[in-house]
Structure 1
Amino acid sequence: MSSTKHQFTVHFWGVRGSISCPGTTTVRYGGNTPCVEMRVGSQRLIFDGGTGLRVLGQALLAEMPVTAHMFFTHSHWDHIQGFPFFAPAFVPINTFNIYGAIAPNGSTIEQRLNDQMLHPNFPVPLQVMGAKLNFIDLTIGESIYLEDDLVIETALLNHPGEAVGYRVSWKGYTTAYVTDTEHFPYRLDENVLKLARNANVLIYDATYTDEEYYSPKSSKVGWGHSTWQEAVKVAQAAGVKKLVIFHHDPLHNDDFMDKIGENVADAFPNSLIAREGLSLQLIPPLKNIATSEK
């Protein structure tokens, strides 16, 4: 078996929420908005197209031709603003299968990606992209089956205008991508628990702290995001092995994120704060497996 087919890796290209925030105080964790790449078996999966997608695109130029499946949680600006700058989409030898749910107003993911590139918003229309773009409308709650036993489950999240959460499973390993969701006040979200159940990795939207979320002066209730304290509750209830805090508030600088990381680690030891460039390997290297099987 080749090493490229025996892999389940998760790479973070953008980890911020709301708006990109480059600068001297966000260097360690990064300032790009959401984009997460998973290499599962021989498949390349890309989740969301924030400004981190531009950085991923530059890396992919050295690997063409590229075929990938792109999954959008929703089309708020911070999750699609990198798509017009995704260089591989302009190269004819590449293929991208693009998935997204139909929005409450009836628009498809193709229409929404097209609209952001229309004049006077952008100088180059989507139709100039030379790659083969296959748009697939998702029904939230359905599963997508790719090669072998690679399955992507979907569920509705609690976010203004709706968002989709994803669960990627392959050969007994699972990563849940649950971002742009707001917890409920007196119970855990059953959809989130379903996506996170016994996952090897849970990537969870913890934009705020509880103190910020419930602040009497500037409450974030109803804004569509969650807290690291709620992330810990979900991870514990769902039997998650590793928790990754994601979708960081642009006002949270590196030092603030360090403190959050310490607090999360105290509450849930096997946890990480997502940062640009972070890679997680769910399956041990093939040589280790080969050695253990002797």
Structure 2
Amino acid sequence: MSRIENQFTVQFWGVRGSIPCPGPHTVRYGGNTPCVAMQVGGKRLVFDCGTGVHVLGQSLLSQMPVEGHIFFTHSHWDHMQGFPFFTPAFIKGNNFNIYGAIAPDGSTIEQRLNDQMLHPNFPVPLQIMQANLNFNNIQPGQPIHIDDITIETAHLNHPGEAVGYRVNWRGGAAVYITDTEHFPDKLDENVLWLSRNADVLIYDSTYTDDEYYSSKSPKIGWGHSTWQEAVKIAQAANVKTLVIFHHDPAHKDDFLDNVGKQAADKFPGAIMAREGLILQVPVLDSVSESLPITKS
């Protein structure tokens, strides 16, 4: 078995929420919107197609032909706006299985990806993509199986609905939870269930508590959570590594440095998501020994 087929890695290609924000004040953490790729054994799993997926796509051009599984949490712009610029999807011979829940209006993920590429919003239609695109409608609460990988799903608390994912493989677990808003008086049971004993929890921490409860411009009802709530979930769910994710576009690098320090003080396993970050999830190897978690 090759080395890559015995590994479970998580790599961050886009970590911002709402809108891309490139510039001198976002260099260290990055300005691309959400895209997280996991290499699970020999399988490539991609979560959301914000502008970060364009960078991921460019990195894959030297590896043609490419096969992958793309999972959408929902179809707000910042989570799908990079898909029309995902170069491997335009290349014949590549193969992508695409997953998403049916929206409250009844539209499928295929319909929503198609609609964003229609005139007058985009110059060419989805059908110009030459890769083999297989669309799958998922039901939150029902698991998805890809060979020996099990992906658990659950509804999240977000306007227009969203789906959280938990990837399980060889005793390791990585959880992707964005976009979601915490409840004022209790921890979200779906979030707790997905996060249980996870090695890595990637959690929507768009705001600080001060911003969320601000008397001048509160963010209650906007569909996002805070890093303080992320810490509560990580503690309650016995998470090993908490990744603060979906940074507000107004949060500059220095601001995020400070958030990272505060989060780590409250929860020693907390780290900040940044473009290029790679986490190695511990799994059981061929002799059932646990590998240590590492980051780079």
> Do the structures match in fold with TM over 0.5?
yes
Q: Helix, strand or coil: the match of 1:207?
A: coil
Determine whether 1:214 maps to 2:213: yes
1:115-194 matches, cutoff 5 A: 115-148=115-148, 150-194=149-193
Are 1:54 and 2:44 matched, yes or no? no
Once residues 231 and 211 of structure 1 are traced to their aligned partners in structure 2, the CA distance between those partners, rounded to angstroms, is 15
Corresponding position of 1:38: 38
1:77 aligns with 2:77: yes
SS at match of 2:211: helix
For 1:2 and 1:123, the matched residues in 2 are separated by: 42
| Aligned counterparts of 1:160 and 1:187: Cα–Cα separation in 2 | 19
**Counterpart of 1:39 in 2: which secondary structure?**
strand
Residue 176 of structure 1 deviates from its aligned partner by: 0.6
| In structure 1, distance between residues paired with 2:64 and 2:270 | 34
Cα distance in structure 2, aligned partners of 1:177 and 1:284 = 18
| Equivalent in the alignment of 1:201 | 200
Q: State how far apart, in whole Å, the 1-side matches of 2:14 and 2:67 are.
A: 20
User: Structure 1: 5+ residue runs without aligned partners?
Assistant: none
Alignment pair present for 1:110 and 2:110: yes
TM-score of the two chains, using structure 2 as the length reference: 0.96
Q: Following the alignment from structure 1 to structure 2, what is the Cα–Cα distance between the partners of residues 184 and 79?
A: 23
Q: Which residue of 2 aligns with 1:5?
A: 5
Separation (CA, whole Å) in 1 of partners of 2:140 and 2:170: 24
What residue identity is the alignment partner of 1:239? N
Shift of 1:271: 1.3
DSSP 3-state at the match of 2:25: coil
Return the alpha-carbon distance in structure 2 between the equivalents of residues 59 and 141 of structure 1.
33
- Who is 2:239 aligned against? 240
CA distance in 2, matches of 1:4, 1:167: 20
**RMSD over equivalenced CA pairs, Å:** 1.6
Contact persistence 1:3–1:286 (CA under 8 A): no
What SS does the corresponding residue of 1:5 show, helix, strand or coil?
A: helix
Q: Distance in 2 between matches of 1:56 and 1:99?
A: 18
Judge conservation of contact 2:169–2:283 (CA < 8 Å) in 1.
no
Deviation at 1:28, TM superposition (A): 0.2
Describe the superposition over 1:119-145 as per-residue Cα deviations: whole angstroms up to 9, x where unpaired: 000001000000000000011111001
Is the 2:170–2:284 Cα contact (8 Å) retained in structure 1? no
- Over residues 60-113 of structure 1, what are the superposed CA-to-partner deviations in whole Å (9 max), with x where a residue is unaligned? 111111100000000000000000000000001100000000000000000000
> 1:284 deviation in Å?
7.4
* Matched AA of 1:165: G
Contact 2:49 2:80 in 1 (8 A): yes
Contact 1:180-1:224 within 8 A present in 2 as well: yes
Residue aligned with 1:154, SS: strand
CA distance in 1, matches of 2:282, 2:164: 23
Q: 2:63 — aligned with what?
A: 63
Kindly indicate whether the alpha-carbon contact (under 8 Å) linking 1:54 and 1:83 is maintained by their aligned counterparts in 2: yes
Deviation at 1:2, TM superposition (A): 1.5
Q: Deviations over 1:6-60 (max 9, x none)?
A: 0100000000000000000000000000000000011000000000000000001
Q: Secondary structure at the match of 1:237?
A: helix
Per-residue CA distance 1:218-274 (angstroms, 9 max, x = gap): 000000000000000000000000000000000000000000000000000111100
Matched position secondary structure for 2:110: helix
Cα distance in structure 2, aligned partners of 1:139 and 1:175 = 20
1:57 corresponds to which letter in structure 2? G
SS of aligned partner of 2:6: coil
Shift of 1:283: 3.2
Question: Which secondary structure state, in structure 2, belongs to the residue aligned with residue 181 of structure 1?
Answer: coil
Structure 2 unaligned spans of 5+? 292-296
User: What letter is aligned with 2:124?
Assistant: V
- Cα distance in 2 for partners of 1:221, 1:70 equals 30
CA distance in 2: counterparts of 1:65 and 1:286, whole angstroms: 28
1:152–1:282 distance in 2 versus 1, CA, 3 Å = same
Q: Report SS of the residue matched to 2:100.
A: strand
Query: 1:286 offset after TM fit, Å?
Result: 7.6
CA distance in 2 between partners of 1:61 and 1:186 (Å): 48
Partner-residue secondary structure (3-state), 2:78: helix
Structure 1's consecutive aligned runs of 4 or more residues displaced over 3 angstroms after TM superposition are 283-287
